[in-house]
Structure 1
Amino acid sequence: MAESNSAPHIVFEHYDRDDERRREALLALGNGVLSWRASAPEGSVKPRADDSKHYAGFYRAGWYDEATREVNGDSVHMAALVNLPDPFGLSVALEDGNWFSPDEVDLQRYRQALNLNDGVLERQLSFELAGHRVELLERRLVSMATPNLAGLRWELHLPPGLVVRLRSVLDGGVCNAGVERNRAYEGRRLQHLAFDHDGNGTAALSARLHDHRQRLAMAVQLRTPGRQLQWRSTTHEQRLVQEARCAVPDSGRLIMEKRVVVLIDEECPVADKDARLEARRQLPCDEYEHLEQTSAEAWRTLWQGLALASDDPELRRNLHFHAFHLLQTVSPHSIGRDLGFPPRGWMEGYYGQVFWDELFAFPVLATHWPELARSLLDYRYARLDKARERARRAGLRGAMFPWRSARTGKEETPPWQLNPMSGRWMADHTRLQRHIGSAVAYDAWQLYLATADEALLAGPVGELIIDVARFWASIAQFDASRQRYLICGVIGPDEYHNGYPDAAEPGLNNNTYTNLMAAWTLDRARQVLALLSEADANGLCQRLGLAPDEPEHWQAVAEGLYLPFVDDLLLSQFEGFDQLEPPPQEWLHGDRPRLDWMLEARHDSCDRYQLTKQADVLMAYYLVPQQTLQQILRRLGYPHDAASARRTLAYHLARITHESSLSKVVCAGALADIDLEASWSYYQQALATDLGSPGNRGTQEGVHLGAMSGSLDVLQRHYLGVRLELDGLHLFPSPPASLPPVSLSLLFRQSRLHLRLAHGALVVRADSGNVAPVPLHYAEGKRQLAPGESLEIRCRSTS
């Protein structure tokens, strides 16, 4: 279990072979370009085997392979993030004894610690090897200062004069095999491997993908500071093995270092040999300590954008850990590289594809690192034309974004998912999650509110919001019998309902979350045109080919969408949800396999029951401020007061399995305005999604970035009450009674604010370096907070 202390470290004090894969993901290092699982280097020196306890994954962000795979009789052309060659294999043997492995020695001490401030992972071991006591100190980094660089350092303490054998491995024969049930889609991806090496410990590798324009070059340098060793190299099964012998110096201290440089595509010269030479040329000559120092300085600069602190060391550590993984996935190095936001980080979970999870990160990124939020928005904007093309092919207007995206902007959802319980293939219809468009619009709007950038509103933000609105206006069909607009044949965030029982076609009608967010997007589109100057609005309309009558139609749809209710009192999940069979309570609370797998193995389906993996309706309460949500419902002609909201939330909470990692963070946010005690309970559970779940096999595939980002969002947006609005920053703090004192710094329209919540009050201080006052709105009124000024706001409570 990770320790709780005041220092921002994640620490494991014992070796647990059965927990290694989860820890490899938890302690993975990245810089927005490279991602390296925390697999033990000594595990990579033996001949490759099917070792389910370790997985040495190394990845380049956004580097997807699109080779065709035969799956369940279909030829599937789908993008998957590539597992790069493993350059980190390293081990030691004494005299003629066996190579070191923690599974084969008596470990007298084991400590693994991730320094969250500096981005350095350290491992300390003491053990007996060949009758001698050995101490090993390992340090590793993925440089936040140099985007294509990773480093590994071993410091060994041994009896002086002892003969030591060293082995290093560069494994180019790796496969994508991190997720067992995905193997039909994965497997071997690297082609045309070639190696260069010399006797001084430097080696390089080149490879290509199915599309030969996608090229890789990797260089590895072995160093033994203070000693010049001769390395003997052999290759077998696309593995380059380098070995050397030396005597332990009189100091009893022997150091080995590996520096790794990775280049792809246009970074590589056209000829493979030249690409290998270029990668070798970029190997740094600096001392390892300097590499670590410059990376740590870059991390410290990043952390200044958050300045998160708490009197509770465990809360601080958990939130710091979540922010750490967020910044490892999207960093300053991501800017300009056309990268999205994968829900498991840059690892093989979900094939490294991009869903909607940046929705949970955007309110945080936009107010702490707006340049990173802009980078993610640029990823969507670069695929806007492709989304428009998809809409046109479907006979619709506007932009229809894919549920899963990768490099090209086409739909990447696999057609089949393997059920490991039954061994059968299950059809995957989740590509019908059209609500992804509203998520893109929401993110765009958040960035505009945070920056007040008029050029952004007249450009990418305006285009994205309006074209998503046009899509909703064209997919919504008017039903004369109800005098309402309907959105049919879609799937909500709850993927346990893909269609109606025994229906010939997938899809559901009038998913409440989808329709509410469609109404929200249509409102924002009209607001965009109203906010722009006449010249900018006309220019935007001309670029989009907007017909004069379209905004009026948007309003008609936004005020006429149909929402399903149960007994006219509470919002239903989708039309017909209340007619499904009630589930047995043990399905909701009992210890059982994943429900969709369990039911399919019984030739049954979640589609038949009133249960949810995560409740779509709660997502609307999580995302949209209660006042705004009530305004939308009133305009739709559906009165929905606080009592109705309580009944709605209670109804859906009684039907959630929480098998989505997002479920509990959504519940925490949705309940913050209704039941703070329940919200806090869910929040604590959400904080433990990855760190507190040793048996969570899902974490092995990568951490849950949506839930991690959501924990930061709930703290800032719901508990501290920070809301971005057109007229300024709204501050309506409503913290749970058990929330310890907490502080953070945020950026709002180029002005920095420092917030401290403690003892029932939120103190807001405008940074003295601000150049303009910040417009604040709070329960007692409003104020222009000048540079250096402070304001104390009393917190409200919710029973």
Structure 2
Amino acid sequence: MKSRGPDQTEWVQECRLCAVPSDDEWLLGYVGFDPTEEGTREALLTLGNGYLMTRGAAAEATADGIHYPATYVAGVYNRLVSLVDGHRRADESIVNLPNWLPMTFRPEDGPWFAPGAYDMVHHHVMINLRQGLYQRELVVLDPRQRRTHITQERLISMDRPHLACQRTTITPQDWSGAIHVRSLIDGRVTNGNVAAHGPLNRQHLVPPVTGHHSDTHWLTTQTNQSGIRIAVAARTTLHHDSGPVVADRLPVGGGGRVGHIFRLAAQAGTPVTIDKTVAIYTSDDRAISEPLDAARAEIADAPALAALRDAHTLAWEHIWRRFHLSIDGREMTDERRAVNAHLFHVAQTLSRHTADLDTGVPARGLHGEGYRGHIFWDELFVFPLLNLRTPELTRALLLYRYRRLPQARRLARSIGASGALFPWQSGSDGREETPERFHNPLSRRWMADNSQRQYHVNLAIGYNIWQYYQVTADVDFLTAYGAELLIDITRFWASLVEHDPVRDRYHIRGVMGPDEFHDGYPDHPGTGLNDNAYVNIMTAWTLTRTRDVCETLGGHHTDELWERLGVTDNELDRWDHISRRLHVPFLPNGLLSQFDGYAALEELDHDAYRARYGDIGRIDLILEAEDDTANRYQVSKQADVLMLFYLLSAEEITAVLHRLGYPFDPATIPQTVHHYLARTTHGSTLSRVVHSWLLARTNRHASWHLLREALDADLSDTQSGTTRQGIHLGAMAGTVDILQRCYTGLETRGDALRLHPRLPQTLTHLDFDLRYRGHWLRFHCSQDHISVHALPSAAPPVTVVIDQQSHTLSGGTHLTVPLTTDTRRQPPTADADLNRRGH
């Protein structure tokens, strides 16, 4: 689409969206049109409801290399075989569904309004985060220099998850005459959001079948491998302010598209409003007979836009009550907007409608096709936010893993292990979806992808189960699902260890840690590493927690569970022994070693590579392009050893290491953080989240700096253009969790809610609501005090521990605790030179 450039001053006065105050932290918007940024903006302006999501593309746009309209339904995957670089490969991907957005117009003697056909003299687009509404306003000139003003509003109903609606208002400003309006459903779609996937087969849908009925039109298709049937039905109505518009309606179809063209008389200054409502169903949906019947019935029953919007915004009001979190300080507008945007994208990707589906936590949301829509370990960063606000949703998402236990057991057997091994990348049925090769755009070569050795996803699932139980005390979940998951995960690790009888130590060999840059030793790439500290310590922790669960359930009439799972006393005793004798490597300076042999690797000259390349987040790709390998160096993409201090408190880590027989001193934690942070390139959006958390107690200024960078990662697309392929859901949830749990020192441990607040000096106060064991608790935390108000509830009283002082809270009671100067004093830091090293 052509643009007249950045000078749009004369049009701003006419733009209603431009009249909104720029410091409104509930609006995420953009003025002007920049083709290089359009893909990123479309991802960030995505709307959804946990079932259905649509990218924030213009209604008149098609996938043309600049724009990428796309709609996704959670859990709709398809597998295709491709021939790439001489190798056959099968890839399962989230499917881009038929495009329901197309809406355009033309004067009778002019071309259809489309990118490149008109001059755009003003463009403003935004999302109202509080209401979940997409709003767009533009002024365009056709080839005869006639000016037309256009506004659009879009919603994906949070009240009725199968419905979406778009209102377009067209106002000829200096011309009158016949006008044509075209409303379509476009089934000519493929998966084309990720350039690196260009060599892959991208045609996931069979040719559609279309039809018309009265004022509606519909399209059906299905995925060509998984056989999921998809139906889209649409209703389009036209009206003026004074009532319905008299227009000729012409059905159109063919070539994979279906819809209507309307012809009507337009007058200068008189707006014409077009409301388009669509219903989308798939054969995976519950409580339906057939997708097209369901879609047509839903569209026939759909209310007018005003009523649909009212119910939708009320649903969002209810969501924001659960996800309430606000910060204050000097000049905090950008930070508050970023926090609201992150909460918005998490809440609309994973909603109460998601809980009714068999789906997991997609790493890139449903905002694009990055990672082909797969589920990784990102739920580790998302569940802490959900546990304390929507625990019923966490429970449902954990069942995604439980239903795939048979597949995980098969994967474990395939590598000669017992129990269950969950895949690093998961899709529809839980098989390993990690590709064997990926493309390096720097060298233009295909590289081996050995990340299926990241067995630590098992540890994340075990951790998530335990944390969910700590927040909810949901014994029924443990009995029905959680215990079985934990036992099979524990059996996997117990079968993987190798015992050294001389030293009575167990070793875990051939794995990758969270770092991802190291898939083996320099002379043995791809074969994994030995005794990764994170893996071994978290394995010891998991084995101990599994025994705790067995003891917890021992008094709950669970004999049938143990008989079914075949857990024996001898097995429990062996798990206990392993949890006390796993080997943990240390560096010569006494700090935890990332893995056995890490100290023998070469140091990387970060400064030299930054001078040559600028951004070295993906130094692994840079090194491969230079015929080198990250396996040779002490360099990390993201936290590995340091993930331990993100997941576990200093007390818990110390207890695990002492149980293993190592004299660990928690005073070495700041030095350990400094050591590895100086060797981390932050090649993942999760990296700054973890490191911000770790610095919160020793260098709050640096912690706040990293948090701001993490808040900005997707909103400013700092990860080398990846946001256009989908937002980073784990990082978005993780940034909010730093405010929610890290700066407050909040833990759910030992049947108590524990707080140890330490706000950065930049924050004057932090307010949020949490749900803990049946209570809604309202928190106000400042530099001087913390208050906790339990809303009225019949739930049993809960224990709240603030700075080691225990209090009991019942429904309707209130607690305020002052924070003394001594408890707020910041400890010494060894991280003073981090900024000089570029971190």
User: When the two structures are superposed, what TM-score results if normalisation uses the length of structure 2?
Assistant: 0.90
Distance 1:228 1:486, change over 3 A: farther
- 2:85 corresponds, among 54, 66, 72, to 72
| 3-state SS in 2 of match to 1:55 | coil
Question: For residues 14-43 of structure 1, what are the alpha-carbon distances to aligned partners after superposition, in whole Å with 9 as ceiling and x for unaligned?
Answer: 222211100000110111111100011111
Q: 1:744 aligns with which of 758, 768, 790?
A: 768
Residues 202 and 730 (structure 1), Cα distance of their counterparts in 2 relative to 1, 3 Å cut: same
CA separation in 2, counterparts of 1:4 and 1:520?
48
Match of 1:163 in 2: 178
SS at match of 1:446: helix
In structure 1, C-alpha distance between the alignment counterparts of 2:269 and 2:342, rounded to whole Å? 41
Aligned-partner residue type, residue 79 of structure 2: E
Q: Compared with structure 1, are the counterparts of its residues 244 and 613 closer, same or farther at alpha carbon in structure 2 (3 Å cutoff)?
A: same
What residue identity is the alignment partner of 1:746? L
Given that 2:221 and 2:231 are in contact with CA atoms closer than 8 Å, whether structure 1 keeps it comes out as yes
Deviation at 1:319, TM superposition (A): 1.4
User: What displacement does 1:505 show?
Assistant: 4.6
Question: Partner of 1:187 in structure 2?
Answer: 202
Give distance in 1, aligned partners of 2:171 and 2:258: 27
Q: What is the letter of the counterpart of residue 293 of structure 1? A: D
Question: In the alignment, residue 787 of structure 1 is paired with which amino acid?
Answer: G
Cα pair 1:441 1:468 within 8 Å, conserved: yes
Deviations 1:430-477 (A, max 9, x none): 011010011111111111111112212222122222221221111111
The gaps in structure 1 that reach 5 residues or longer are none
Q: Distance in 1 between matches of 2:578 and 2:267?
A: 79
In 1, Cα distance between the equivalents of 2:377 and 2:107? 51
Deviates more, 1:353-362 or 1:533-542: 533-542
Paired residue secondary structure (1:15): coil
Matched, 1:109 2:122: yes
Residue 183 of structure 1 deviates from its aligned partner by 2.4
CA distance in 1, matches of 2:187, 2:786: 54
Note the alpha carbon deviations across 1:39-93, whole angstroms, 9 max, x for none. Answer: 111113xxx6xx2211111111110002333333433333210011112111122
Which among 736, 741, 744 is matched to residue 717 of structure 1? 741
Distance 1:106 1:185, change over 3 A: closer
Partner of 1:383: 404
- The Cα shift of 1:102 comes to 5.9
* Structure 1 residues 43 and 376: CA distance shift in structure 2, 3 A: same
Which residue number corresponds to residue 830 of structure 2? none
Q: Secondary structure at the match of 1:224?
A: strand
Question: Is 1:690 aligned to 2:714, yes or no?
Answer: yes
Separation in 1 of the partners of 2:438 and 2:759?
41
Which has the larger displacement, 557-566 or 231-240? 231-240
Instruction: Give 3-state SS (helix, strand or coil) of 1:573's partner.
Output: coil
Q: Counterpart in 2 of 1:652?
A: 676
What pairs with 1:408-557 in structure 2 (closer than 5 Å)?
A: 408-503=429-524, 505-557=526-578
Of 128-137 and 15-24, more deviation after overlay is shown by 128-137
Q: In structure 1, give the amino acid aligned to 2:265.
A: A
Q: Among 331, 348, 358, which residue is 1:328 paired with?
A: 348
For the residues of structure 1 that align with 2:444 and 2:27, how far apart are their CA atoms?
41
Q: Secondary structure at the residue paired with 1:616?
A: coil
TM-score (norm 1): 0.95
Q: Distance between the aligned counterparts of 2:43 and 2:286, measured in 1?
A: 29
Question: 2-side partners of 1:581 and 1:602: how far apart?
Answer: 16
1:250 Cα offset (Å): 7.7
Instruction: Name the aligned partner's letter for residue 679 of structure 2.
Output: R
Query: Cα offset for 1:481?
Result: 4.5
**Runs of 5+ unmatched residues, structure 2:** 1-5, 7-17, 828-839
Residue identity (%): 36
Q: Which residue of 2 aligns with 1:244?
A: 262
Counterpart residue number, 2:32: 14
Aligned equivalent of 1:154? 168
Whole-Å separation in 1 of the counterparts to 2:409 and 2:789: 44
State the SS of the aligned residue for 1:144.
Answer: coil
Aligned equivalents of 2:667 and 2:552: distance in 1?
35
Asked if residue 218 in structure 1 is aligned to residue 232 in structure 2, the reply is: yes
Match of 2:800 among 776, 779, 787: 776
Quick one: distance in 2 between partners of 1:203 and 1:230?
Answer: 16
- Which position in structure 2 is the counterpart of 1:300? 317
Indicate the residue corresponding to 1:134 in structure 2: 148
Amino acid corresponding to residue 83 of structure 2 in structure 1: E
**Corresponding residue SS for 1:571:** coil
Checking the alignment, whether the CA contact within 8 Å between 1:215 and 1:268 is kept in structure 2 is no
What do the CA deviations read for 1:191-245 (whole angstroms, capped 9, x no partner)? 14211135x5522111122236421111122221312533334445423364232
SS class of match (1:151):
strand
User: Aligned to 1:763, what secondary structure does the other structure show?
Assistant: strand
Residue in 2 that maps onto 1:282 = 298
Partner of 2:94: 81
Aligned 8 A contact 2:759 2:782 in 1: no
Greater shift in the superposed pair: 770-779 or 352-361: 770-779
Structure-1 residue corresponding to 2:836: none
CA deviations on 1:642-665 (whole Å, 9 max, x unpaired) are: 432122111111111111110000
Distance 1:285-1:380 versus aligned 2 partners, 3 A rule: closer
Which residue of 2 is the match for residue 205 of structure 1? 219
Give the counterpart letter for 2:59 in structure 1: P
Match of 2:190, SS? coil
Q: Deviations over 1:552-589 (max 9, x none)?
A: 11111111111121115111211112211211223664
Residue 266 of structure 1 and its aligned partner are, at CA, apart by 4.5
3-state SS, counterpart of residue 60 of structure 2 = helix
Q: How far apart in 1 are the matches of 2:623 and 2:632?
A: 10
- Structure 1 residues 462 and 157, CA, compared in 2 at 3 Å: closer, same or farther? same
